[in-house]
Amino acid sequence: MRKKIIAGNWKMNKTPAEAVQLAESLKGSVNSGKADVIFCVPAIDIIPVAKALEGTNIAVGGQNMYFEDSGAFTGEISAKMLLDAGAKYVIIGHSERRQFFAETDETVNKKVLKAIESGIIPIICVGESLTQREQGITVDLVRLQTKIALKDVSAADAANVVIAYEPIWAIGTGKTATSEQAQEVCKAIRDVVGEIYDKNVSEKIRVQYGGSVNAANAAELFAMPDIDGGLVGGASLKAEFEKIVNY
């Protein structure tokens, strides 16, 4: 049985001092250990938040990284830097990075490979726009995004990665996919992982849903057979996150 994994994506919110305050205020109530819980915080907040979470089961994650080890890449952060700062996970290919920072399926794959090589677990985001959903190409698109993201990833490593299905039209909009819509695509992701590797990997890999998850819809979404938890944006910055984690 796969353990649920619920990650908060704090996006570009919270100064280091504010981040520590939020981590301190949430940590007691989201620390039962029943689900894996991760705070994906701005890079500058990783060190202080990791320190604030010492002694808990809550992990820290980054929100992006570069695929080179070091060098003349002004403004970028490497996987090793994230790891050394205390991050165990990193979000890769969030739709906001694809939309505003020219992230492509190919750069996602390079980052996934580097994260794995460096010992960081990638949370790979895939998902369709509203137009793509209306064109009826959601499943084809998400299958392709998943295949490219996992290119050259070994079966053993693939079993440990996390894939977040995040329909772009549901992110930050208050419009959640129905549990049936989310289940259909999360199952398609698990199926394509089974085709690339085998049943063993597809049964181990964890697939999250993300897109306006809140205290009212979390339980129904997370009860679906192929949804192993959530990637939560807006609601992860509030006390509501506690209700989502303890759904």
- Is residue 62 a contact partner of residue 43, using CB atoms and an 8 Å limit? yes
Q: Sketch the per residue contact string, 224 through 243, with ligand PEP: x for CB under 6 A, - otherwise.
A: -------xxxxx--------
Closest listed residue to residue 145, CA positions, set 94, 184, 180:
94
Place of tokens 């353990």: 3
Dihedral over Cα of 79, 82, 85, 89: its sign: negative
- 171-200 residues in contact with ligand PEP (CB under 6 A) are 171-172
CA distances from 202 to 2, 195, 226 (A): 11, 9, 10
- Contact range with ligand PEP by CB under 6 A, out of 47-55, 112-120, 196-204, 207-215: 207-215
Minimal distance in Å, beta carbon 173 to ligand PEP? 7
Choice among 18, 24, 94, 117 that is catalytic = 94
Could you give the CA distance from residue 208 to residue 229 in angstroms, rounded to a whole number? 5
* Closer residue to ligand PEP in complex, CB, 52/232: 232
Q: Is 203 a catalytic residue?
A: no
According to the binding rule CB under 6 A, does residue 127 interact with ligand PEP? no
Are 66 and 76 contacting, i.e. CB atoms less than 8 angstroms apart? yes
Active site residue 184: no
211 part of the interface to ligand PEP, by CB under 6 A: yes
Binding site for ligand PEP (CB under 6 A): 9, 11, 166, 171-172, 210-213, 231-235
Catalytic positions, written as ranges: 94, 166
